[in-house]
């Protein structure tokens, strides 16, 4: 059976469509807002949504996502609370959901527990930013038992040999980081994107999504020209930060996403 993430890319491909993959931090500004945001992101044109699990030491994230984690952590939510929120989200939307986390919260919860409960809640894929393929055999095997897609990052500095190891472990799609460094909106896409995509394409037929630094329609459009999907994180999280106290937060974030992909498709 074709899994949800793969099916999404398959459905886009015949018409030349490309995936829009927004990232939001779960629990920012609170879990109720997260539950309302995900269906609105789908209505705004999202094909897959990444849900970031807040962590106190997000070393790969820039200041925007760091602040969002801090806001969510103040509520004292547990990983189980985020999975309960996913169950509620699933009453409204079947959009593929990727859990985006550091390993420490998963280690505390228990890897087997996380895989079982995430699958039961309705998660489709998991991206743990500090688990590497070289150390991820148990992790990948555990996700496979529960039919969850493990997604790994490829960086511009990844060698062809290492890319081969990474894509062997991936399911769903490969996440190409557009540049070295932490997350955060940038003025322009890195020149490293195309060479990195070429090395990945040579090693796999899996869809490729590009993220880190995408914040404007022209950047989404540029990524769609060369990859299968564009991941937008910090720019959307910044909108949540800006409008977090507004009663119509989801519609404001949705309007921003429509601007991103409307301008990109025009």
Domain boundaries of the chain, sorted by first residue: 4-265
**pLDDT grade for 1, boundaries at 50, 70 and 90:** confident
Mean pLDDT, residues 26-35 taken together: 98
Closest CA to 174 of 207, 217, 149, 202: 207
Mean pLDDT, residues 3-16 taken together: 96
pLDDT(116) > 80? yes
CATH number of the structural domain 4-265 = 3.20.20.70
- CA 54, 60, 66, 70 dihedral sign is positive
Q: Does residue 50 carry a catalytic annotation?
A: yes
CB 217 within 8 A of CB 263: yes
SS3 state of residue 23: strand
pLDDT(193) > 70? yes
For 201-230, write each residue's pLDDT tens digit: 999 999 999 998 899 999 999 999 999 999
Q: Does residue 61 carry a catalytic annotation?
A: yes
Q: Cα–chain-centroid distance for residue 150?
A: 12
Residue in 28, 40, 42, 61 annotated catalytic: 61
pLDDT(184) > 50? no
For the chain, give the percent of residues with pLDDT over 70. Answer: 94
Residue in 28, 42, 50, 228 annotated catalytic: 50
Joined tokens for residue 92: 């409204």
Q: How far apart are CA 215 and CA 24, in angstroms?
A: 14
**pLDDT grade for 125, boundaries at 50, 70 and 90:** very high
Q: What are phi and psi of 23, to 5 degrees?
A: -115, 135
pTM score over 0.85 = yes
- Average pLDDT over the chain reads 93
Closest CA to 118 of 89, 143, 141, 93: 143
Mean pLDDT, residues 120-131 taken together: 97
DSSP per-residue string spanning 168-230: HH--S-EEEESSSS-----SS--TTHHHHHHHHHTT--S-EEEESS--SHHHHHHHHHHSSEE
Q: How far apart are CA 22 and CA 239, in angstroms?
A: 12
């Amino acid at each position: 059976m074709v899994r949800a993430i793969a099916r999404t890319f398959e459905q886009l491909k015949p018409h030349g469509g490309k995936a829009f993959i927004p990232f939001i931090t779960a629990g920012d500004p609170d879990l109720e807002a997260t539950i309302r945001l995900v269906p609105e992101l789908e209505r705004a044109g999202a094909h897959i949504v990444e849900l970031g699990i807040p962590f106190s030491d997000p070393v790969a994230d820039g200041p925007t996502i760091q602040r969002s984690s801090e806001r969510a952590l103040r509520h004292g939510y547990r990983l189980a609370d985020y999975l309960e929120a996913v169950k509620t989200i699933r009453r409204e939307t079947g959009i593929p959901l990727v859990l985006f986390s550091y390993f420490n919260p998963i280690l505390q919860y228990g890897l087997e527990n996380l895989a079982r409960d995430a699958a039961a809640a309705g998660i489709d894929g998991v991206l743990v930013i500090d688990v590497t393929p070289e150390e991820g055999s148990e992790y990948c095997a555990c996700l496979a038992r529960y039919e969850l897609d493990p997604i790994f990052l490829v960086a511009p500095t990844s060698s062809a040999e290492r890319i081969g190891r990474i894509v062997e472990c991936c399911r769903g799609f490969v996440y190409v980081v557009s540049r070295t460094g932490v997350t955060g909106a940038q003025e322009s896409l890195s020149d490293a994107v195309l060479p990195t995509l070429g090395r990945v394409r040579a090693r796999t037929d899996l869809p490729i999504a590009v993220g880190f630094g995408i914040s404007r329609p022209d950047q989404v459009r540029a990524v769609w020209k060369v990859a299968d999907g564009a991941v937008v994180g910090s720019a959307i999280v910044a909108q949540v930060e800006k409008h977090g106290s507004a009663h119509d937060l989801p519609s404001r974030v949705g309007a921003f996403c429509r601007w991103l992909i409307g301008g990109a498709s025009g």
